[in-house]
Amino acid sequence: MNKKWQYYNSETTKIEQISNKFNINTLLATILVNRGITNENDIKIFLNPTREDFHDPYLLPDMDIAVERIVKAIQEKEKIIIYGDYDVDGITSISVLKKFLQERGLEVAEYIPNRLDEGYGLNKEAISEIYDKGYRLMITVDCGISGIEEVDFANSLGMQTIVTDHHEPAEELPKAMAVIDPKIKDSKYPFNQLAGVGVVFKLIQALGIKLGLEEKEYLKYLDLVCIGTISDIVPLIDENRVIAKLGLKLVAVTKNLGLKYLLKSAGYKAIDSNTISFGIAPRVNACGRMGHECEALEIFLSDNIVRVEELADKLNQYNRQRQDTEKEIFKQALEQIEKNGEEGRNSIILGDERWHHGVIGIVASKITDMYFKPTMLLCFEDGVGKGSGRSVPGFDLHMALSKCSDLLEKYGGHAMAVGLTIKKEKFEEFKSRFEDIAKNSNLEDLQPIIKIDGQINIDNMNIDFVEELKKLEPYGEGNKTPIFIYKGLKINSIRAISEGKHLKLTLKDEGNIIEAIGFNMGELVDEYLIGDKVDVVGILEINEFNGNKTIQINLRDIMKSIN
């Protein structure tokens, strides 16, 4: 599919001012302006955040109430249960809060719903079980903001609840004794994009202040807070950037045995956001997806080196199972698309009895990327389909589902990602109605956009420039890896590698040879000839081979030069 190349509208004067003020090169200043970081204090924090840049935790709604209740629990030696989620954000949230409270002398347990049997969030059966075990104070992490009925049920039993969450609240809030969520209407907290583990960090920070603890007693958990924050794909700006930047330094020297062994098994040399996103997160998430969420938690809590090694091996095994399952579903989905002519539709909605509920969201995301169409995949069991959907920029998937709500058992999510449940007999009617909605949304006018940060030339193809770009790390949502355009290059060599999957090129600028690789772009090999003049967009990276460091362009797109 053709991609649209789009430049940012950057102010030249502002770029020069920032470049001079902070003694950084013009391209670096340009990227800051492109990210909307132009205020002097914001730039200072972005480039060199410190522990002084955390916001006051007591500005969060109900923080004082929650702290008072937990302090009372500490004083009276109560036992507490933490109710969390099965993804990386939820697992790290439970780990951080449990470790912190145990160090304060509390007896702490946890409950994680099984993704395959219970699904996300609070449920009454679990709350009954928790109550029967004698718990009278429950703290939710990374969930709870939508649990109106469930919190009412807990209240009816005589169990108090403190909700900590970061998801969007409805008009009505749970009637918990405290509800801490930076997205609550009228919240005075200056940043509302924290991950669930970020909210937990603010809670232990507030407790630390109240109890008169040294800062290190809560700052030492920034390694796990960083893992959860980066993995949950929240914007890495403002306080999330402080968490990620400082946290990555702790990750590199972590004392958490489980994290240390996960890093070792992931095999990444550098400790950066890519290591977390592609090395740690998939392994932890695979546990929840395959129904083994408790082992993901145990690896972060255990101090037994033998058990941690065993768990690290298990997480690798679950991740391989997840990958194999995902590949098989992807293959079957593509077969359905081809067989039924789905590529000619405005939306792609598929269902199958063979599919695994835990991984269909990943496959839906891949198909969305491949066809640039809203995609939903469902797995059918006992006449009911449970599914996940992913969208494209410009099409509100949640809004579209709301127009089909009479056909659905339940649904939730946001513009770009949803979950849904539907009876099998209503599937075809739903598919037809959704296609009509997609057809009337002018989806054919939408196309993938590549945002270009700036133009580079041979002067930028050096180690020093790429090293300076590292000042902008960690990259992630809200701070994407910079993408550059390099114009007027001649193709010196071109070939497909890895069984035709990837594209490998050498490009010439006058007498200089530039290496480039295009992952999953192997099909383009027949569209270009040696000697063709091309423009490329991509990411600059250092390629290490046999001890030698060279700069290569990791391609995002390529087209023949107009001039």
**Is residue 436, in this structure, part of any structural domain at all?**
yes
Where residue 471 sits, what CATH number does that domain have? 2.40.50.460
Residue 37 within a domain? no
Q: Does residue 244 fall inside a structural domain?
A: yes
DSSP per-residue string spanning 327-369: HHHHHHHHHHHHHHTGGGSSSEEEEETT--TTTHHHHHHHHHH
Let me know if residue 35 belongs to a domain: no
Same domain, yes or no, for 57 and 144? yes
Residue 204 neighbours by CB distance under 10 Å: 25
User: For the chain, what is the domain count?
Assistant: 4
Of 339, 364, 387, the residue at which a domain comes to its end is: 339
Domain that holds residue 328: 254-339
172 occurs within a structural domain: yes
Q: Does residue 247 share a domain with residue 101?
A: yes
Co-location of 467 and 510 in the same domain: yes
What's the average pLDDT block by block, 10 residues per block, for the chain (563 residues)? 85 92 92 92 92 97 98 96 92 97 96 77 92 96 92 96 92 95 94 96 98 97 97 91 96 95 88 92 88 90 95 92 93 94 92 89 92 94 92 91 93 83 95 94 83 94 91 91 96 95 94 93 94 96 82 95 81
Predicted local confidence at residue 261, as pLDDT: 93
Residues 123, 226 share a domain: yes
pLDDT of residue 67: 98
Euclidean distance between CA atoms 360 and 389, whole angstroms: 9
Q: Are 388 and 360 in contact (CB under 8 A)?
A: yes
Give the per-residue pLDDT at 511.
87
Is the residue at 26 inside a domain? no
- CA–CA separation, 275 and 297 (whole Å): 19
Q: What is the CATH number of the domain that holds 350?
A: 3.10.310.30
- Which pLDDT score, from 0 to 100, does residue 1 have? 61
CA distances from 376 to 56, 329, 351 (A): 41, 13, 8
Shared-domain flag, residues 482 and 416: no
The answer to whether position 473 is within a domain reads yes
Q: What share of the chain is helix, strand, coil (3-state, %, to 5)?
A: 45, 20, 35
Q: What is the pLDDT of residue 146?
A: 86
Domain boundary among 206, 232, 252: 252
In this structure, are 425 and 553 located in the same domain?
A: no
Same domain as 276, residue 399: no
Is the N-terminal amide bond of 49 cis, ω within 30° of 0?
no
Q: What's the CATH number where 67 sits? A: 3.90.1640.30
Asked which of 220, 252, 284 is the last residue of a domain, the reply is 252
In-domain check, residue 151: yes
**What is the structure's pLDDT at 290?**
82
CA distance 84 to 287: 14
- How big is the CA angle at 98 (ends 93 and 103), to the nearest 5 degrees? 135
Same domain, 387 and 332: no
Residues 99 and 125 in one domain: yes
How far, in Å, CA of 21 to CA of 42, rounded? 13
Taking the C-alpha atoms of residue 218 and residue 57, their distance in angstroms, rounded to an integer, is: 13
> Which one-letter DSSP state was computed for residue 249?
H
Cβ-count burial of 4 within 10 angstroms (0-12 exposed, 13-18 middle, 19+ buried)?
Answer: exposed
User: Do 296 and 353 lie in a common domain?
Assistant: no
Residues 509 and 361 in one domain: no
Tell me: do 260 and 232 sit in the same domain. Answer: no
